[in-house]
Amino acid sequence: MTGLDDTPEPAVADLMVKAEAVHKHFGRLDVLKGIDLEVRPGEVMCVIGPSGSGKSTFLRCVNHLEKIDSGRLWVNGHLMGYRQKGDRLYELRDKEVSAQRREIGMVFQRFNLFPHMTAMENVCEAPIRVRREGKAKARERGARLLEQVGLGDKVNSYPSQLSGGQQQRVAIARALAMEPKLMLFDEPTSALDPELVGDVLEVMKRLALDGMTMVVVTHEMGFAREVGDSLVFMDDGVVVEKGTPRDVLTNPRHARTQDFLSKVI
Ligand SMILES: Nc1ncnc2c1ncn2[C@@H]1O[C@H](COP(=O)(O)OP(=O)(O)OP(=O)(O)O)[C@@H](O)[C@H]1O
Ligand SMILES: [Mg+2]
């Protein structure tokens, strides 16, 4: 976006995510109606908005789990899902899309751990199977990551033996095991009992402080305010406003944002 000031537009290569006029529909339902967003390396962008506004769909488009209908979406300088030659776009093969997706870690509301694998096995699975990494190296990193998310004593536990918050922290460690450049979180704490939310947010906060680029769909306004560099309010398939969390939360410019915040804060 060219602002009123003289700051030049950052080039695609200098951004971690750039979405340009992204449209997505399901049948007759227009879910994303032209999303323009930019995430700088190291930025933590939080996304809020009412149910059905397109937040999850946008995250799924970022890692090309959903194909966009028009517009352009780059992650780490790569056009997601396509190769551009001249003015034309060519779809990448599945293998090439998987390679692009490896740069992106995703954590969902439901943790989707493999139930028959221990915490350690869950964390090591993708590096060993996808990256063909040696077991010893994968386990070494696995131990470090499980320690990092506060589960050093749970490496041999199965998901059924862990609380929801612990399972979600294993899911975060599992995503980090692929050494992503970008982490996407889709309401990572909203399925958790309230007393388990804090530990997961603490892990995410530390990740942010370590410099990870993150897009976080969340209803945790405290987290957005404290950890977010930017806050986006989406409604009905559009970005209504984006600003610093403080500005959006305490001084929303749009009636729709004010209305939403009055219901959730
Ligand atoms: N695969 C699909 N097929 C058809 N419609 C879909 C599909 N996925 C999402 N939708 C619809 O798209 C709209 C946006 O859904 P989305 O999940 O992106 O919303 P959201 O902002 O994440 O909502 P919530 O806060 O409830 O998670 C909804 O109306 C939803 O029903
Ligand atoms: Mg959602």
Q: Give me the residues of the chain with pLDDT under 50, please.
A: 1-3
Atom 7 in ligand 1: residue holding the nearest Cα = 26
| First-residue to last-residue Cα distance in the chain | 30
- What distance in Å separates the CA atoms of residue 14 and residue 77, rounded to the nearest whole number? 8
Q: What is the DSSP letter of 4?
A: S
CA–centroid distance, 58 to ligand 2, in Å, is 9
Residue 1: per-residue pLDDT: 45
Residues 36, 3 contacting (CB under 8 angstroms): no
- What distance in Å separates the CA atoms of residue 159 and residue 145, rounded to the nearest whole number? 16
Half-sphere exposure in the Cβ direction for 243 (13 Å, CA): 13
Q: Does the CB atom of residue 59 touch ligand 1 within 6 A?
A: no
Place of tokens 């090439």: 96
Residues 49, 55 contacting (CB under 8 angstroms): yes
Q: Does the CB atom of residue 218 touch ligand 1 within 6 A?
A: no
- What distance in Å separates the CA atoms of residue 113 and residue 160, rounded to the nearest whole number? 10
Alpha helices in the chain (DSSP H): 55-62, 94-101, 119-129, 135-148, 164-176, 194-209, 221-227, 245-250, 255-264
Alpha helices in 75-189 (DSSP H): 94-101, 119-129, 135-148, 164-176
Residue 7: per-residue pLDDT: 65
Which ligand has the nearest atom to the CA of 28? Answer: 1
Residue 6: per-residue pLDDT: 62
Confidence (pTM) = 0.94
Alpha helices in 46-134 (DSSP H): 55-62, 94-101, 119-129
Pocket test residue of 22, 23, 29 for ligand 1, highest count of atoms within 8 A of CB:
29
Residue 111: per-residue pLDDT: 83
- What distance in Å separates the CA atoms of residue 181 and residue 103, rounded to the nearest whole number? 5
